[in-house]
A and B are shown apart, each in its own frame.
Chain A
Amino acid sequence: NAGVTQTPKFRILKIGQSMTLQCTQDMNHNYMYWYRQDPGMGLKLIYYSVGAGITDKGEVPNGYNVSRSTTEDFPLRLELAAPSQTSVYFCASTTSGRGTGELFFGEGSRLTVL
């Protein structure tokens, strides 16, 4: 019963490097999200997707890109990493876009940019 799986769990990047955070879910959910959580703060939406082939920006999309080629996978790409992107990243999914179902979260990926 995997649910939402994120990799890697931890990563240290140098300024200017790029990387991809992987997210996959096995619940056949159409709706997927990437959030970031800074210390002492709630979660901010980066990007979201309502189905394969469809993505859209959230509150804080700058410096990130996403793709959704399959229902299961929703990778988040960081281009030209900056210290401001040091954060914990959560991928999440849900079955309904109408706000009638709970959001299922991955375990999180802690990223440090030095």
Chain B
Amino acid sequence: EDKVVQSPLSLVVHEGDTVTLNCSYEVTNFRSLLWYKQEKKAPTFLFMLTSSGIEKKSGRLSSILDKKELFSILNITATQTGDSAVYLCAVVRSSNTGKLIFGQGTTLQVKP
């Protein structure tokens, strides 16, 4: 059965800290891995990763995929209170349906 597992499930840090969120997967016919940020409402897209070892970066956020070890990490440096959210990892299989398989999410709280 396809599985996406995120860790930790929750995390509390202080502003300025650096955090690393983990996502491991067991999915047949892997195609891509996506990271989303969810603040109260709908998830918003952060990154899509399809190739191993290539870092995607956007400001203080970065992510990398390891297709051999079947995991991805999302790094946030110099955290701010506005980074407080649920971070969701999702995997897409190689099919013509585009269905995403989501992990449980990591709840990040950044304290001032």
Contacts and interface: CB of A to CB of B under 8 A. Distances in A.
Interface residues of B, number: 30
B31 A99 contact: yes
Contacts of B107: 40
Contacts of B90: 42-43, 103
Interface range, A side = 20 to 34
B42 A107 contact: yes
Interface string B86-108: 00101011111111111111010
Interface in B27-47: 31-32, 34, 41-45
Interface of A: 31, 33, 35, 40-45, 48, 50, 56, 58, 90, 94, 96-108
29 contacts: A33-B98, A33-B99, A33-B100, A40-B104, A41-B105, A42-B6, A42-B88, A42-B103, A43-B100, A43-B102, A45-B99, A45-B100, A48-B98, A56-B97, A58-B99, A90-B43, A98-B96, A99-B94, A99-B98, A100-B31, A100-B32, A102-B34, A102-B45, A103-B45, A104-B45, A105-B42, A105-B44, A106-B42, A107-B41
Contacts of A58: 99
Interface of B: 4, 6, 9, 31-32, 34, 41-45, 48, 50, 88, 90, 92-105, 107
